[in-house]
Structure 1
Amino acid sequence: MNGPPPPYVMLEGSHHGDVQPPPYRRNVPRYHSNYHKRSSGKSCLRCICCCYCFLFLFIIILAALALYFYTIFEPRIPSYTVQNLEVKSFDVKPDFSLNTELLVTVKADNPNTNIGFTYGAESSVVITYSDADLCHGKLPSFHQGHNNITMIKVDLKGRSEFGSGLQEALADSRKNGKIPLLVKVKVPITVVVGDFPLRQFKVFVNCSLIVDNLAPNKKIGILSRNTTFNFEF
């Protein structure tokens, strides 16, 4: 059996040691360039810088528009006050239920010269005594123009449970001539600048009243009032 061929063949006439075997081939190392990686990194950096510049410019434009709007239109928050309260019915039944019918007059004052308000239909008005709901109703839907004061009359009716504890507390308040009531108003309002309506937001008004009596068909004296506002965009 013949073995494998030799890695090289000796030529005739050559002397031993005169001819060297060919050198083994070596793989030449390949060097990969980082040019593409560096170019890609620079492109990403440019993109990030452009985004930040655009964002900064956008913020400057918004600030300039807000300043222009505030300077030209001088927006001011409208005010709301419970002006009058009339009791049509306030009857405690033997089954500890209470039938209530009140007429509330709310004063809405818009002091703006270029801004109007449109009051939406999805509103609610609730009057409570000691956290117990007495009656409820809703504001009419209407548009209030510039530099306008509107008296809004709201008719409220309700039937609620009025246990012995609440009856005793109400009797003491009537005896002292100081009955605390809370009027809670929620109304959606659309801001109108000139003739252009903007976005709608919700206004929450809480008016704490102390009245001297709740007798039907009798003038109700409002001894004190404290009104707070809140907005939801």
Structure 2
Amino acid sequence: MDYAQRRVHPSDVEAAMEAAPAYPSKYVMLNNSNSSSVRPPPQRRNIPRYHSNHHHSQGHCCLKCVCCCLCFFIVVIIVLASVLAVLYVTLNPKMPQYNVESFEVNAFTMDPDFSLYTEFVVVVKSNNPNKDIAFTYGKDSSVVVAYSDSTLCSGKLPAFHQPFQNTTMIPVVLTGKSEFGSGLQEALMDNRETGRIPLLVIVKAPISVMVKSLALRQFMVNVNCSLVVDNLAPNKRVRILSSTYTYAFEGITLQI
């Protein structure tokens, strides 16, 4: 190819420029007269990152709920304690008192086969000192008289209602036949000769508490009475030389 063929004519350049597509300029040149023109974006601009506070807000809500629950329970406990304190001061509750008022022997027979038949009549005195609290004694009660860990006879209390500030005498008939060994018979005979026979009277009774006309729950009362009597001769007056009482109310034990 010769030089004449490689020569570019001005008309050809102008035609090529007119045929080329027009692209917008990437940048806008600013001048002093146009201050509102948009500046070109920087080449390496750092995009700000925004962290979510969702987990922090969730934990804060849980903590508020726990605090509210604790405050609620504390308020409930304070209110209940205040109500109980007011009731205790107003009612002034006192425990019922029991003691063995009298002890009678109707039968006390020893057989040659080392068996013993007994019949006692025990009068239990029940005192209710409360002004606004009454007691109702259920039918599932029991009374046992024992000597040296051996049962002599047994019976039960009658079911009855004891009103406010009341004293009731409860006669209980106790009968039984028990096997006594020679050792127990000899010990009992020795006690009869000395005039000091130790006995244990065990009373168990279900009691329902009533505050004025409102019936509350039922609980079991256990009364252990350690007696020392002078004799066990039938149809003879028996003197109670000493007595010690132990009360148990649903696991709470008191000794008098």
TM range (shorter): 0.7 to 0.9
Cα offsets for 1:135-165 (capped at 9, x unmatched) = 1111111110000000011111111111101
Pairwise CA distance, 1:107: 0.5
Out of 204, 209, 214, which is 1:191 matched to? 209
Three-state SS of the structure 2 residue aligned to 1:122 is: coil
RMSD between aligned residues: 1.7
Three-state SS of the structure 1 residue aligned to 2:237 is: coil
Letter in 2 for 1:174: R
Three-state SS of the structure 1 residue aligned to 2:63 is: helix
Pairwise CA distance, 1:34: 5.1
**Distance in 2 of aligned mates of 1:79 and 1:167:** 34
Letter in 2 for 1:61: V
**Distance in 2 of aligned mates of 1:34 and 1:219:** 95
Pairwise CA distance, 1:63: 0.9
Letter in 1 for 2:210: V
Return 34-43 or 90-99, whichever deviates more. Answer: 34-43
Out of 163, 168, 173, which is 1:155 matched to? 173
Cα offsets for 1:15-67 (capped at 9, x unmatched) = xxxxxxxxxxxxxxxx7945221122112111111111111111111111111
Out of 41, 45, 61, which is 2:59 matched to? 41
* Structure 1 segments of 4+ aligned residues over 3 angstroms from their partners: 31-34
How many residues were matched structurally?
206
Q: 1:98 to 1:32 in 2, by over 3 A?
A: farther
Q: Give the share of equivalent positions with the same residue, in percent.
A: 56
Cα offsets for 1:165-189 (capped at 9, x unmatched) = 1000001100000000000011111
Structure 2 unaligned segments of length 5 or more: list them.
Answer: 1-48, 252-256
Letter in 1 for 2:197: I
Q: Work out which structure has the larger RCO, using CA pairs closer than 8 Å and 6 or more positions apart in sequence.
A: 1
Return 167-176 or 71-80, whichever deviates more. Answer: 71-80
TM-score (norm 1): 0.85
Three-state SS of the structure 1 residue aligned to 2:70 is: helix
TM-score (norm 2): 0.77
**Distance in 1 of aligned mates of 2:51 and 2:119:** 88
Pairwise CA distance, 1:92: 0.9
Out of 73, 77, 81, which is 2:95 matched to? 77
Structure 1 unaligned segments of length 5 or more: list them.
Answer: 1-30
Match of 1:108 in 2: 126
Three-state SS of the structure 2 residue aligned to 1:216 is: coil
1:223 aligns with 2:238: no
**Distance in 2 of aligned mates of 1:207 and 1:62:** 37
